[in-house]
Amino acid sequence: MSRLQQTDGLTDEQSELVKLVRQFVEEQIIPVAQDLEHADEYPTDIVEGMKEMGIFGLMIPEEYGGLGESLLTYALCVEEIARGWMSVSGIINTHFIVAYMLLQHGTEEQKQRYLPRMATGEVRGAFSMSEPGLGSDVAAIRTKAVKDGDEWVVTGQKMWLTNGGSSNLVAVLVRTDLGESDSPYKNMTTFLVEKEPGFGETAQGITVPGKIDKMGYKGVDTTELVLERHRAPETQILGGVPGKGFYQMMDGVEVGRVNVAARACGVSMRAFELGIAYAQQRETFGKQIAQHQGILFRLADMATKVEAAHQMMVKAARIKDAGRRNDLEAGMAKYLAAEYCADVVEQSFRIHGGYGYSKEYEIERLYREAPMLLIGEGTAEIQKMIIGRRLLEDAGRR
């Protein structure tokens, strides 16, 4: 086993689970990832295998039928899965965020209604903040819910829903201007929208037009969501009270950031493995390219980045597990791991010479996947805004 990405202080149970996931990745994901990705095919068998292993309920407490594991265990499993194929980790990420939000902010009735079926993978979650006109600037959301008797009527257009087609439960952030506050942040509400999986009109007033054709991150569906006078009862408001949606979503995104950092760690690790293997196999000027100092230095640089990102991600997960605020550490971990991942993948690509450009080599796929990590759960600039503001806040307290 590689000396990289080792995690100190794991329980036997955590180590066993991560080992099991690694074996699943080796046997069920890596051998098929290339073909499925090139065909942009949904990995149905892999998803079924993950359901059997309980992956969809990893962090859902045992009382709701899940495994009750920590964020750290979850992140380490995600790291392993992304090492096999990043798209598969994308399939569980939004599900995990929605389950987490339900757990933290849902009413007991909502928890009972969804969490046991989310733990088995029968209910699959997607989450939706972005719109065609906004991503980073969440306060600019235009999709609107207006009260009509006992119900709310929701109209608007959402964009970039990971698992938008395959999910049957979407946490959607919308405006609900109740005139009680001038702050846009206090005028937003998360609705739990139930729909059928698939495309077209999948529930009353809900249309999922089709898959967005992407550069990478294929296999997993990313979609738009059109709400046209969708009627939602009060019971579908997360937590039962309007006006709390922004804070609920930010809480979800914060754990999502650890998750994206973990994905970046997995993709970097794979890129490093591919790079070091190729460097020992390819010869130029009478010796293995790994023996040229220029390549050796690349490998050293890559491995250092792989290791540093992992340790930072682990730290962010552990702080959250300890019940402490981790916005600073999660922002740093996400920022650093995503940037390092893009760099490590690029370096591995260069080690592969011309073959890195061939679809026969795995690095070509990783090269198209890594940029997504620079964007999802907030771009680098947004992470730096969060990090910077938190640092100033801390400095002001001293």
Ligand X SMILES: Cc1cc2nc3c(=O)[nH]c(=O)nc-3n(C[C@H](O)[C@H](O)[C@H](O)COP(=O)(O)OP(=O)(O)OC[C@H]3O[C@@H](n4cnc5c(N)ncnc54)[C@H](O)[C@@H]3O)c2cc1C
- Binding residues (CB under 6 A) for ligand X: these are 94, 127-130, 134-137, 160-162, 214, 217, 222, 372, 375-376, 378-379, 381-382
Shortest reach from residue 216's CB to ligand X, in Å: 8
Residues that are catalytic:
377
Nearer to ligand X, 120 or 379 (CB): 379
Instruction: Count CB-CB contacts under 10 A for residue 203.
Output: 16
* Spatial separation of the C-alpha atoms in residues 151 and 82, rounded to whole Å: 41
The amino acid present at 116, given as its one-letter code, is P
Chain centroid to CA 274: 23
What are the phi and psi torsion angles at 366 (to 5°)? -60, -35
Shortest reach from residue 101's CB to ligand X, in Å: 13
Instruction: Count CB-CB contacts under 10 A for residue 340.
Output: 26
Is there a contact between 302 and 272 (Cβ–Cβ < 8 Å)? yes
Nearer to ligand X, 182 or 213 (CB): 213
Shortest reach from residue 387's CB to ligand X, in Å: 13
Nearer to ligand X, 185 or 355 (CB): 185
Give the strand pairing for 169-175 and 125-128: parallel
Of 316, 260, 320, 251, which is closest to residue 104 (Cα–Cα)? 251
Shortest reach from residue 162's CB to ligand X, in Å: 3
Shortest reach from residue 242's CB to ligand X, in Å: 19
Nearer to ligand X, 275 or 331 (CB): 331
Nearer to ligand X, 129 or 363 (CB): 129
Instruction: Count CB-CB contacts under 10 A for residue 122.
Output: 12
Give the strand pairing for 206-208 and 200-203: antiparallel
* Spatial separation of the C-alpha atoms in residues 38 and 51, rounded to whole Å: 24
Of 61, 81, 90, 62, which is closest to residue 17 (Cα–Cα)? 81
State the residue number with the nearest CB to ligand X. 135
Alpha helices in the chain (DSSP H): 12-24, 30-39, 44-53, 71-84, 86-105, 108-120, 245-281, 293-321, 327-351, 362-375, 380-397
| 224 Cβ contact partners less than 8 Å away, ≥ 6 residues apart | 132, 157, 158, 159, 160, 161, 164, 208, 209, 212
Residue 192: beta bridge partners?
A: 171
Nearer to ligand X, 125 or 239 (CB): 125
* Spatial separation of the C-alpha atoms in residues 215 and 209, rounded to whole Å: 19
Shortest reach from residue 134's CB to ligand X, in Å: 6
The amino acid present at 62, given as its one-letter code, is E
3-state secondary structure of 238: coil
Shortest reach from residue 81's CB to ligand X, in Å: 17
Shortest reach from residue 132's CB to ligand X, in Å: 9
Nearer to ligand X, 65 or 371 (CB): 371
Nearer to ligand X, 72 or 86 (CB): 86
**C-alpha separations of 299 from 77, 273, 275, 302, 365 in Å:** 25, 10, 8, 5, 20
